Amino acid sequence: MTVQEVGQPRKRKEDARLLTGRTQWTDNLTRPGLLHVMFLRSPMAHARIASVDVSAARGMPGVVAAFSGQDFAAEQGSLPCAWPVTEDIVIPDHPPMAVDEVRYVGEAVACVVATDRYRAADALDAIEVDYEPLPAVVDMNEALASDSAKVHEAGNKAFSVTITSGDIEAAFRDAPVVIDRTYVQQRLIPSAMEPRAVMADTDGESFTVWSSTQIPHVLRVMLAVVTGIPEHRIRVIAPDVGGGFGSKLQVTAEEVLCLLLARKLGKPVKWGESRSEGNLTVHHGRDQIQHVRLAADSDGRVRGLQVGLLADMGAYLMLVTPGIPMLGAQMFNAIYKMDAYEFGCTGVFTTKMPTDAYRGAGRPEATFAIERVMDELAAELGMDPIEVRRRNWIRHEEFPYTTISGLTYDSGNYEAATEKALALFGYDKLRAEQADRRDRGDPVQLGIGVSTFTEMCGLAPSRMLGEANYGAGGWEHASVRMLPTGKVEVITGTSPHGQGHVTSWSQIVSDALGVPFDDITVLHGDTAIAHKGMDTYGSRSLVIGGVAVVKACDKVREKARRLAAHLMECSPDDLDFAAGAFTVRGTEQSRTIQELAYAAFTAHDLPEGVEARLDSDATFDPDNYSFPHGTHLCAVEVDTETGMVKIRSYVAVDDVGTVVNPLIVEGQVQGGIAQGIAQALFEEAVYDAEGNLLTTTMADYLLPSAADLPNFTLDRTETPATSNPLGVKGVGEAGTIASTPAVVNAIVDALRPYGIHDIRMPCTPERVWRALEGVRR
């Protein structure tokens, strides 16, 4: 009896290499005659480039070449924006290297190519650039004022949309309770541990680009479009990639320029980013101002929700920049039933690094706003925050349920997840302690935060992407091939960078084909090997890519069935498949799938119409998103003397549908929670009024270490998705989406007796103290 692999906490196949330093990070790679590239970056947020003089740099030791934007002007094209969210969106020209004007600090203005990075760094100091300063545009509200300086000639508004569902006016008319709040989603720096790196080489005709990217397939297409190099002459390889969190879901200036440098010089070139360079130039995340109004009845029932966003695009629209806030458009209503909903969003240009996808991408922002507002509603009504949610959430028997924003949630059980979380958390006991501390006037107050979240995962049904005017589909591809010796090669179009696809896909294939886990290998991340794919982001890999693997296995199994029937001289319908073997029903006669693989290889005796291969391809395109959900509870201690917040306990019960590997799921949730907590407490990309980034290093941009975070108590409920055959929902972003509001709700809960109803993120000790000072006066 074979054990079912799906559901087993398999240790990862990926680990051994990573643990022993046998890694293939892009910056580890080399080529004969490799040259090193470094970029000179603008110290000005906004300026006209009067001149760039690279001649002195060219003469320096070890320097092979030096170029300014002018040298690339004829060939560099414009970095792509694949998501024009409205008909009249303004998509400014975005040269990979600035030619006439710089629009954010860090924009590349020149580069040096040298025999090693030390000499390249020295030569950068010798480049002279003459800037004519232009006014910086830093604040979104000011940017939209009629007298604001312009980032681009077309103005500072990129786009504006409003979506309405139901009678919003009626919902607010005579509403007994209206909550009106403005929240700031601060700008974040994704901070994947591996800084970006790119290497490019050419044989004179074809090009290979190695990049620390999440999206080798998308990148290949886009490099062809941007540079005009024919797609079939470009191969993109994503070797080991050290985290992404959306930040490597991009077509970057450096990728384009390294490719062009390889073409210009006919030599291999490599660029490796420094962290301080990365903080300036890896796209940032979040950065929205959210105006939220919620109308409710006096019993807590939500009538309607009105959302108005200002979303900071930064200086340009990158790959999916304008789509990020739009990914939240259908999520503000979350798990709640209501009569009417209005969503408005204006994308604003500023002279800052462009924003784009960061873990959750639009959904954390939406979840934060609604979960904060639900707590405000509870407070307004003197109701427990759990109770106000109970009165509004979709009950488990109501699925499938079409929400006010038009999504159909296939499955879920908010009641079950919440009950489990409350029990694990010891909710009532903590509430009692909270009351006691309040009574005693304890300088350390206790706060309890609730977040009952859902998200839309598995980006995305191609049809829906088309309706949203996204420039590509959302399918995923897989190939499964049985080798002559009975081993299996899986080729996936997903591009893992920490998610453990090699392990999870092996588990899936092991069950589908009855082949031992260790006999399966998974190839990915090289467009010459995995020729078709849509890559890894948006919690899509398992939900779409994993299902594509299942579909490919199904086809392989059916081919094997035909072959088995032929060899055992029976009808395919008379065969039972179990534990990797076809058995003629009611007999002892059987063939293992490994035997059939060998038979297909020798091809000595194949039935009519069966080719000499036991392999197959499949592409999966879902009909619907998936909707993981869960209940996260956070208890914080707030030192009212200093404003310091300490997380005392954190419980998360997630429902991500069927679990393929509980170890990996747990890891994803833990890491996600940590990142969400970091937004609530620690992280913020700060620009000054002149548009200078002040948080350029890890000494200034605070990332939590092990010493800054607690342990998390995790559990799960399992309500399988009905939109895919695996029943999986995706887990990559859940923790991040859920945790930020849980933490801030807890902090505000602790401070509510003082009359405080918001702390702006990150909730620094100083901000907490200032809020308390404000009410003490």
Partner 1 sequence: MIPAQFDYERPASLAEACQALAEDDEAKVLAGGQSLLPLLRLRLAYPTKLVDVGRLDELKGVHDRGDHVFIGAMATHDEVLRAPAVASGCPLVAMATAHVADPAIRHRGTFGGSLAHADPAGDLPAVVLALDGVLVARSAQGEREIPAADFFVDYLESSLAQGEILAGVRIPKPGEGWGFHYEKFHRTAQAWAIVGVAAAVRRSNGAITEARLGLTNMGATPLRAHATEAALRGVELGDAVRQACEQAADGTSPPSDLHAQPDYRRHLARVLTHRAVRTAAGSP
Partner 2 sequence: MPRITVTVDGVTYEEDVEPRVLLVHLLRERLGKTGTPVGCDTSNCGACTVLLDGKSVKSCSVLAVQADGCDVVTIEGLGTSGSMHPMQQAFHEEHALQCGYCTPGMVMAAIDLLRENPDPSEETIRQGLEGNLCRCTGYCNIVRAVRRGAQEMGQAVTRS
Which one among 7, 8, 18, 400 touches partner 2, defined by CB under 8 A?
18
Which one among 15, 93, 125, 299 touches partner 1, defined by CB under 8 A?
125
Based on the shown chain and the rule CB under 8 A, indicate whether residue 673 belongs to the binding site for partner 2. Answer: yes
Based on the shown chain and the rule CB under 8 A, indicate whether residue 19 belongs to the binding site for partner 2. Answer: yes
Based on the shown chain and the rule CB under 8 A, indicate whether residue 705 belongs to the binding site for partner 2. Answer: yes
Stretch that binds partner 2, among 125-133, 373-381, 534-542, 706-714 (CB under 8 A): 706-714
Which among partner 1, partner 2, none contacts residue 504 (Cβ within 5 to 8 A by kind)? none
Output the smallest distance, CB 36 to partner 2, in A: 10
Which among partner 2, partner 1, none contacts residue 193 (Cβ within 5 to 8 A by kind)? partner 2
Query: Among residues 25 and 598, whose Cβ is nearest to partner 2?
Result: 25
* Interface with partner 2 in residues 733-752 (CB under 8 A): 735
Strands 157-165 and 108-114: unpaired
In the block, residue with structure tokens 């695009």: 313
Based on the shown chain and the rule CB under 8 A, indicate whether residue 700 belongs to the binding site for partner 1. Answer: yes
Rounded distance, CA 540 to CA 543, Å?
A: 5
Query: Among residues 160 and 186, whose Cβ is nearest to partner 1?
Result: 186
Distances (CA, A) of 484 to 235, 481, 524, 773: 28, 10, 21, 74
Output the smallest distance, CB 93 to partner 2, in A: 32
Asked whether the beta carbons of 607 and 30 are under 8 A apart, the reply is no
Q: Could you tell me which residues are beta bridge partners of residue 284?
A: 355
Based on the shown chain and the rule CB under 8 A, indicate whether residue 703 belongs to the binding site for partner 2. Answer: yes
Q: How many residues bind partner 2 (CB under 8 A)?
A: 57
Rounded distance, CA 539 to CA 184, Å?
A: 25
Rounded distance, CA 748 to CA 221, Å?
A: 47
Stretch that binds partner 1, among 263-271, 559-567, 704-712, 741-749 (CB under 8 A): 704-712
Which one among 228, 707, 711, 777 touches partner 1, defined by CB under 8 A?
707
Encoded tokens for 627: 């909707």
Based on the shown chain and the rule CB under 8 A, indicate whether residue 699 belongs to the binding site for partner 2. Answer: yes
Which one among 698, 755, 766, 775 touches partner 2, defined by CB under 8 A?
698
Based on the shown chain and the rule CB under 8 A, indicate whether residue 128 belongs to the binding site for partner 1. Answer: no
SS3 682: coil
Output the smallest distance, CB 98 to partner 2, in A: 24
Which one among 383, 416, 610, 709 touches partner 2, defined by CB under 8 A?
709
Which one among 25, 399, 598, 754 touches partner 2, defined by CB under 8 A?
25
Asked whether the beta carbons of 601 and 612 are under 8 A apart, the reply is yes
Based on the shown chain and the rule CB under 8 A, indicate whether residue 697 belongs to the binding site for partner 1. Answer: yes
Output the smallest distance, CB 699 to partner 1, in A: 8
Residue 399 gets the label, from left (phi > 0), alpha (psi -120 to 50) or beta, of beta
Closest CA to 548 of 605, 635, 617: 617
Rounded distance, CA 620 to CA 541, Å?
A: 11
Encoded tokens for 710: 């607690």
Listing DSSP states for 141-201 in one string gives HHHHSTTPPPSSTT-SEEEEEEEEES-HHHHHTT-SEEEEEEEEEEEE----SSPPEEEEE
Rounded distance, CA 761 to CA 746, Å?
A: 13
Query: Among residues 86 and 670, whose Cβ is nearest to partner 2?
Result: 670
Rounded distance, CA 606 to CA 609, Å?
A: 8
Encoded tokens for 426: 């010891």
Distances (CA, A) of 39 to 44, 209, 272, 563: 15, 18, 10, 58
Q: Could you tell me which residues are beta bridge partners of residue 110?
A: 40, 68
Closest CA to 279 of 760, 700, 762: 700
Which among partner 1, partner 2, none contacts residue 572 (Cβ within 5 to 8 A by kind)? none
Stretch that binds partner 2, among 100-108, 302-310, 366-374, 707-715 (CB under 8 A): 707-715
Residue 204 gets which letter from DSSP? S
Based on the shown chain and the rule CB under 8 A, indicate whether residue 16 belongs to the binding site for partner 2. Answer: yes
User: Residues 240-259: x/- map of binding to partner 2 (CB under 8 A)?
Assistant: xxxx-x--------------
* Interface with partner 1 in residues 613-652 (CB under 8 A): 641-642, 644
Output the smallest distance, CB 707 to partner 1, in A: 4
Output the smallest distance, CB 769 to partner 1, in A: 6
Output the smallest distance, CB 777 to partner 1, in A: 13
Backbone angles phi and psi of 84, in degrees to 5: -75, 100
Asked whether the beta carbons of 450 and 745 are under 8 A apart, the reply is yes
Residue 242 gets which letter from DSSP? -
Query: Among residues 660 and 685, whose Cβ is nearest to partner 1?
Result: 685
Query: Among residues 240 and 277, whose Cβ is nearest to partner 1?
Result: 277
Rounded distance, CA 237 to CA 773, Å?
A: 55
Q: Could you tell me which residues are beta bridge partners of residue 653?
A: 631, 715
Q: How many residues bind partner 1 (CB under 8 A)?
A: 30
Based on the shown chain and the rule CB under 8 A, indicate whether residue 276 belongs to the binding site for partner 2. Answer: yes
Based on the shown chain and the rule CB under 8 A, indicate whether residue 694 belongs to the binding site for partner 2. Answer: no
Asked whether the beta carbons of 415 and 391 are under 8 A apart, the reply is no
Which one among 201, 240, 277, 287 touches partner 1, defined by CB under 8 A?
277
Rounded distance, CA 177 to CA 180, Å?
A: 10
Output the smallest distance, CB 639 to partner 1, in A: 9
Which among partner 1, partner 2, none contacts residue 242 (Cβ within 5 to 8 A by kind)? partner 2
Query: Among residues 124 and 734, whose Cβ is nearest to partner 1?
Result: 124
Based on the shown chain and the rule CB under 8 A, indicate whether residue 14 belongs to the binding site for partner 1. Answer: no
Based on the shown chain and the rule CB under 8 A, indicate whether residue 1 belongs to the binding site for partner 2. Answer: no
Which among partner 1, partner 2, none contacts residue 125 (Cβ within 5 to 8 A by kind)? partner 1
Q: At what angle do helices 363-381 and 734-751 cross, to 10 degrees?
A: 30
Distances (CA, A) of 218 to 230, 544, 719: 14, 16, 33
Q: Using CA atoms of 476, 482, 483, 488 in order, give the dihedral in degrees to the nearest 10.
A: 60
Based on the shown chain and the rule CB under 8 A, indicate whether residue 558 belongs to the binding site for partner 1. Answer: no
Query: Among residues 281 and 351, whose Cβ is nearest to partner 2?
Result: 281
| Radius of gyration of the chain measured on its C-alpha atoms | 27
Stretch that binds partner 1, among 52-60, 271-279, 374-382, 496-504 (CB under 8 A): 271-279
Which one among 115, 160, 642, 670 touches partner 2, defined by CB under 8 A?
670
Which among partner 2, partner 1, none contacts residue 22 (Cβ within 5 to 8 A by kind)? partner 2
Rounded distance, CA 135 to CA 143, Å?
A: 11
Residue 310 gets which letter from DSSP? E
One-letter amino acid at 625 equals Y
User: Residues 219-238: x/- map of binding to partner 2 (CB under 8 A)?
Assistant: --------------------
Contact set with partner 2 (CB under 8 A): 11-12, 14-16, 18-23, 25, 27-28, 116-118, 191-195, 240-243, 245, 274-276, 497-500, 663-664, 666-668, 670-675, 697-699, 703, 705-709, 711-712, 735
Contact set with partner 1 (CB under 8 A): 117-118, 121-122, 125, 274, 276-277, 641-642, 644, 682, 686, 694-695, 697-700, 702-705, 707-708, 764-766, 769-770
